[in-house]
Amino acid sequence: MLEVSFNSPQCGWMSIGFDDGVTEFHTTTAHAPHSGALPELMQILTKLADPSSPENEFLLKWNRDPEEFDFRFVRDGENLTIEIYQYPTDERDHTERELVFSHAGTVAEVYRAFGETFDQLYADRDTDEFEFNWRQAFPYREYEEFRKRMN
């Protein structure tokens, strides 16, 4: 079973983790320059959870500075594969990228795992001073759309 954790942001950084009982990956991500990464992630997952969506593959760019990441999502019917690639620099040279995490599961399982961590970020947004610490607003609209698809 996939577990996803996005911890409370601090000073423009957020610790994230993925663990499926077989492989595990933890890192920190930055709020910039890919400032739309968190809302875009919610949008991607919302589209993947819609069986009538014609899009089945997405690539999300995120960074740690200077390292960069690609989060690749591929849906095949009810199955969903997540691959996380790490680049040593912001040049994103495909010959230097490394697959640091991969998980194959169902769309429902992956959606629930992300849902739990997004719900926690939402619940703690005031206590954790999300906007101040992440240096951008909480993605309310994308989160609401994500929650609608979950229900």
Q: Which range of residues forms the domain containing residue 44?
A: 3-150
End-to-end CA distance of the chain: 20
What is the C-alpha separation between 4 and 20, in angstroms, rounded? 9
What is the C-alpha separation between 49 and 58, in angstroms, rounded? 13
Q: What is the CA radius of gyration of the chain?
A: 15
* Sign of the torsion angle spanned by Cα atoms 1, 28, 13, 65: negative
CATH for 47: 3.30.2450
Q: What is the pLDDT of residues 86-119, one digit of tens each?
A: 999 888 888 999 999 999 999 999 999 999 999 9
Q: Tell me the residue type at 121.
A: L
Q: What is the pLDDT of residues 35-84, one digit of tens each?
A: 999 999 999 999 999 999 999 999 999 999 889 999 999 999 999 999 99
3-class state of residue 150 by DSSP: helix
**DSSP letters for 82-99:** EEEEEESSTT--GGG-EE
Instruction: Tell the burial category of 76 from Cβ atoms under 10 Å away from its Cβ (0-12, 13-18, 19+).
Output: exposed
pTM: 0.95
Q: Give the pLDDT band (50/70/90) at residue 15.
A: very high
Q: For the chain, how many structural domains are there in total?
A: 1
